[in-house]
Structure 1
Amino acid sequence: MPDRKTEIKADHNTENKSENGQCAETSHTYQEWLHYGKTLLQEQGVADAETDAWLLMEYVSAITRVYYAMHGREKMDEAEAQTYEGLLKKRASHIPVQYITGEAWFYGYSFRVTPDVLIPRLDTEVLVEQAELRILPGMNILDMCTGSGCILLSILKRHSVSGVGADLSERALDVARSNQKRIGVRGASWIRSDLFQNIGGTFSMIVSNPPYIASAEIETLSPEVRDYEPRQALDGRADGLYFEKTIAGEARKHLKPGGWLLLEIGCGQGIEMREYLAGAGYQEVEIIKDLGGNDRVAAGRTENV
Structure 2
Amino acid sequence: MTLADLHGEARAALARADIADAKLDARLIVEHFSGTSRADAVSRPDMPVDPEKADAVRQAIARRAAGEPVHRILGFREFYGLKFFLTPETLEPRPDTETLVDAVLPFLRQRAAREGGCRILDLGTGTGAIALALLAEVPQAAAVGVDISADALATAARNALENGLSGRFEPVRSDWFEKISGPFHVIVANPPYISSKELETLQREVRNFDPARALDGGADGLDAYRTIAAQANAYLEPAGRVAVEIGYTQKEAVTRLFEAAGFRTLEARKDLAGHDRVLVFEPR
TM-score, normalised by the number of residues in structure 2: 0.94
Separation of aligned partners in 1, 2:56 and 2:168: 39
1:180 aligns with 2:153: no
Deviates more, 1:236-245 or 1:141-150: 236-245
Q: Pairwise CA RMSD of aligned residues?
A: 1.2
1:118 aligns with 2:91: yes
Kept after mapping to 2: 8 A contact 1:141/1:163: yes
Separation of aligned partners in 1, 2:242 and 2:249: 19
Kept after mapping to 2: 8 A contact 1:142/1:207: yes
Match for residue 269 of structure 1? 250
Separation of aligned partners in 1, 2:195 and 2:103: 25
Match for residue 154 of structure 1? 133
Match for residue 190 of structure 1? 171
Match of 1:143, as an amino acid? D
With CA pairs under 8 Å and 6+ residues apart, which has the higher RCO, 1 or 2? 2
Q: Percent identity?
A: 38
Secondary structure of the 1:228 match is coil
Higher helix share: 2
1:97 aligns with 2:77: no
Q: CA deviation at 1:164?
A: 0.3
Q: CA deviation at 1:46?
A: 2.2
Separation of aligned partners in 2, 1:236 and 1:284: 22
Secondary structure of the 2:208 match is helix
Match for residue 193 of structure 2? 212
Q: CA deviation at 1:283?
A: 2.2
1:227 aligns with 2:247: no
Q: CA deviation at 1:29?
A: 2.0
Kept after mapping to 2: 8 A contact 1:256/1:302: no
Separation of aligned partners in 1, 2:159 and 2:170: 12
Match of 2:30, as an amino acid? M
1:140 aligns with 2:113: no
Separation of aligned partners in 1, 2:197 and 2:150: 27
Secondary structure of the 2:146 match is strand
Separation of aligned partners in 1, 2:265 and 2:256: 12
Match of 1:281, as an amino acid? G
Kept after mapping to 1: 8 A contact 2:265/2:279: no
* Structure 1 segments unaligned to the other structure (5+ residues): 1-27
Match for residue 289 of structure 1? 270
Match for residue 180 of structure 2? 199
Match for residue 63 of structure 1? 36
Q: CA deviation at 1:275?
A: 2.4
1:128-174 per-residue CA deviation (whole Å, 9 max, x = no partner) reads 11110211211101000000001101111121111100000011000
Q: CA deviation at 1:302?
A: 1.6
Kept after mapping to 1: 8 A contact 2:125/2:146: yes
Q: Kindly name which structure, 1 or 2, has the bigger radius of gyration based on alpha carbons.
A: 1
Match of 1:180, as an amino acid? A
Match of 2:193, as an amino acid? Y
Match of 2:159, as an amino acid? N
Separation of aligned partners in 1, 2:7 and 2:198: 35
Match of 1:142, as an amino acid? L
Secondary structure of the 1:99 match is helix
1:260 aligns with 2:203: no
